[in-house]
Amino acid sequence: MAGAVQQSIRRGKKQADNIALHLNQNFDIAKINQGVVTSSYAYREILKVAIVNVDKKQEVILMQEIRDGRRFQGF
């Protein structure tokens, strides 16, 4: 899952500075965080990442906050 998140961010960075990851099922939030954290260092041009779950609930975090230790909490 972490690799899929990294790949999605890598593709998204070519289109925008803010990335939204739409989850079509429940995933382990730790693996999502792992992919986002790795990407936060690799793709510094990304400003924000949002995750949107199947119930359309969303959580948005600035990439700088991720580099500072903040993580997605899940829904």
Number of domains into which the chain is organized: 1
- CA–CA gap between residue 7 and residue 65 (Å, rounded): 21
Give a yes or no: residue 52 inside a domain: yes
pTM attached to this predicted model: 0.85
Residue 75 has pLDDT above 80, yes or no: no
Residue-averaged pLDDT of the chain: 92
Q: Which domain holds residue 50?
A: 2-67
Question: Are the CB atoms for 2 and 28 separated by under 8 Å?
Answer: no
Residue 35 has pLDDT above 90, yes or no: yes
Question: Are the CB atoms for 72 and 59 separated by under 8 Å?
Answer: yes
Give a yes or no: residue 74 inside a domain: no
Give a yes or no: residue 15 inside a domain: yes
Nearest-5° angle of CA 19, CA 46, CA 25? 30
| Count of CB atoms situated within 10 Å of the CB of 11 | 10
Mean pLDDT of 15-39: 92
